[in-house]
Structure 1
């Protein structure tokens, strides 16, 4: 609506200036069209600079995420460092247990990322997004076609990760990949054997406490133990690479 009154005011002011010759009529026409023109400009500036007619609205979404490694037994959060503060780092994750193209956070001035550790066994991403929205339908119609609605103010991503998850930079991941590729057959066999022993010990300890444990429960404990072992190995590898 403001855009329409702006155009009408500008055309009316031009016509009044060019084609109105009687002094009284000229003054009245210029005054009325000038008020419409200037008023429209003031309203537009107030909206663009001070978000006049708008208010902030925050929405929160929460979704389960999966390891960027595409492996259930190697829970990993990847990130690419942007800047020096770490606030604008780009985090890489999956929304499915396995996917070709991973998801990632936005690298812009509005987005802040946080990583916290929880006692949960599942990883979650909670996103709080704050945007400018119209206060009412009146302002919505007043500033029709302005493109200001849903303008983002800030976005906060909070990654809630289990203790077994490891946060790895893309540089560290590349280093680890090279180290794994250079492992000898003996080293690979020793690692697999150690992992199997760790899992067996965990299952045996659990069955000692609960001899009537079902086979599905044993599988669940074995998977959890495998995740714990992979997490320990990954953390040790990261520590040794520093």
Structure 2
């Protein structure tokens, strides 16, 4: 409405100055419409530059966080660097396990991302701050500027467990490639490792039952796999 008042007062000032011939009336109308015009310009400027009539409003949303990868053995939070200095990142994740297309954060200077460790269930907490009008009256006067709910900043907090791994998309591709390249070798080495662990366990306890041996085999296989994954992750992280 303030923009309408600005236009109307400008037109009225012009018409009164040109078409009103009676001096006293012309001067009076000109002063009134000039005052309205100047006042409108001032408040439009204050609304645009200083967000006059507005307040900062922050909302918080929480959603579940799932691994961006398809592997059941490794929980991944991926990111893609924006620019060459790695000052800004777009994080890639899933909201549900069966989600086919991954979600990602916004690539914007107004969006910040923080990764935090938690012992609770992984989650994504987003805090969004916007400019909103103080009242319906303020929205009535300045709403035509179309700046209601203008974004000030958005911060995404990724709460992940210690077993999660944060990799760039490039590192994730390198890791996947390395896994495929070493698959046969790892399988053979895993077999030897498990065999040695079983032998060592039998030396300590020759009377172990089949169930106990199976438990040792399973634990040894899981341990070798975890060690192998950590070794490959160390390699891809070092390469950057």
3-state secondary structure, aligned to 1:149: coil
| CA–CA separation in structure 2 for the residues paired with 1:71 and 1:180 | 12
Residue 98 of structure 1, CA deviation? 2.5
Cα shift readout 1:160-186 (whole Å, capped 9, x = no counterpart): 00011000001111211221232353x
3-state secondary structure, aligned to 1:96: coil
| CA–CA separation in structure 2 for the residues paired with 1:55 and 1:29 | 36
Are the aligned partners of 1:54 and 1:134 in contact in 2 as well (CA < 8 Å)? yes
Does the C-alpha gap of structure 1 residues 137 and 95 become closer, same or farther in structure 2, counting only changes over 3 Å? same
| CA–CA separation in structure 2 for the residues paired with 1:96 and 1:130 | 26
205, 230, 237: which is aligned to 2:232? 237
| CA–CA separation in structure 2 for the residues paired with 1:87 and 1:138 | 41
Residue 34 of structure 1, CA deviation? 0.9
- Tell me whether 61-70 or 78-87 shows the greater mean CA deviation: 78-87
What residue in structure 2 maps to residue 123 of structure 1? 122
What residue in structure 2 maps to residue 60 of structure 1? 60
Q: Structure 1 stretches (4+) deviating beyond 6 angstroms?
A: 194-197, 228-231
| CA–CA separation in structure 2 for the residues paired with 1:113 and 1:194 | 43
What residue in structure 1 maps to residue 149 of structure 2? 150
3-state secondary structure, aligned to 2:145: coil
3-state secondary structure, aligned to 1:81: strand
Larger of the two Rg values belongs to structure? 2
What residue in structure 1 maps to residue 187 of structure 2? 189
The alignment of Structure 1 onto Structure 2 pairs a total of residues equal to 215
Unaligned runs of 5+ in 2: 196-217
3-state secondary structure, aligned to 2:88: coil
Are the aligned partners of 2:178 and 2:232 in contact in 1 as well (CA < 8 Å)? no
**TM-score of the two chains, using structure 1 as the length reference:** 0.79
What residue in structure 2 maps to residue 13 of structure 1? 13
Q: CA RMSD in A?
A: 2.8
Unaligned runs of 5+ in 1: 198-221
**TM-score of the two chains, using structure 2 as the length reference:** 0.80
